């Protein structure tokens, strides 16, 4: 499509729908999708810095229904954390016991993992199996999402490092290099200094 002039660069195809790509490949003359690509790329850029709310809608009044399925989901996905009165404290679920201090490293994707050095505190939105090797290097892990049965919590327990999961917004509040204390047994993360 790029060679035919429908799009400027081969990577621009990610901004097109399946139907648009199919139409372009079947067309006798090249279709021009450059404006469509530019508009969609601009829309993505507009939303790039938007901070998402922790939840959408209003929590129903009263405690949630008590059933085995919901209890399991809550342990895997976690619940919205309580707010802390202290702006230097983040609360979450106790994913793996232990207390450790170290410099924070915010890693949003594995492409940023090369900035991790031994003793760092990994701050991530979530973790998945490809992240597991990082647990052997870091001193502790803190995530925005997850519960006590999430990937992060289970793997941190296997590696014997502290973890606090489901903090809601650790990646937004903590910055690279800040000294933090992770208390994985209590589910508390304290920002000590910049």
Q: CA–CA distance from 100 to each of 139, 179, 189 (Å)?
A: 7, 10, 10
Q: Which of 15, 18, 48, 151 is catalytic?
A: 151
Q: How far apart are CA 152 and CA 147, in angstroms?
A: 9
In 29-109, beta strands by DSSP E: 89-91, 93-96, 99-106
Secondary structure letter of residue 32 according to DSSP? -
Q: How far apart are CA 34 and CA 41, in angstroms?
A: 10
Residue 151 designated active-site: yes
Active site residues: 151
């Amino acid at each position: 499509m790029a060679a035919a002039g429908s799009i400027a660069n081969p990577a621009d195809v990610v901004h097109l729908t399946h139907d648009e790509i199919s139409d372009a490949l079947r067309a006798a003359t090249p279709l021009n999708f450059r404006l469509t690509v530019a508009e969609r790329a601009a829309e993505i850029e507009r939303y790039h810095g938007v901070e998402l709310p922790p939840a959408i809608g209003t929590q129903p009044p009263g405690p949630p229904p008590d059933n085995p399925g919901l209890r399991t989901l809550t342990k895997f996905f976690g619940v919205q954390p309580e707010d802390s009165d202290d702006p230097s404290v983040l609360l979450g679920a106790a994913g793996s016991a232990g207390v450790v201090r170290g410099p924070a490293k915010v890693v949003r994707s594995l492409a940023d993992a090369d900035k991790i050095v031994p003793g760092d505190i990994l701050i991530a939105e979530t973790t998945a199996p490809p992240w597991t090797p990082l647990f052997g290097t870091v001193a502790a892990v803190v995530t925005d999402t997850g519960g006590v049965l999430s990937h992060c919590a289970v793997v941190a327990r296997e590696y014997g490092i502290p973890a606090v999961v489901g903090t809601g917004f650790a990646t937004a509040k903590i910055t690279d290099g800040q000294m933090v204390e992770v208390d994985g047994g209590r589910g508390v993360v304290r920002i000590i200094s910049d």
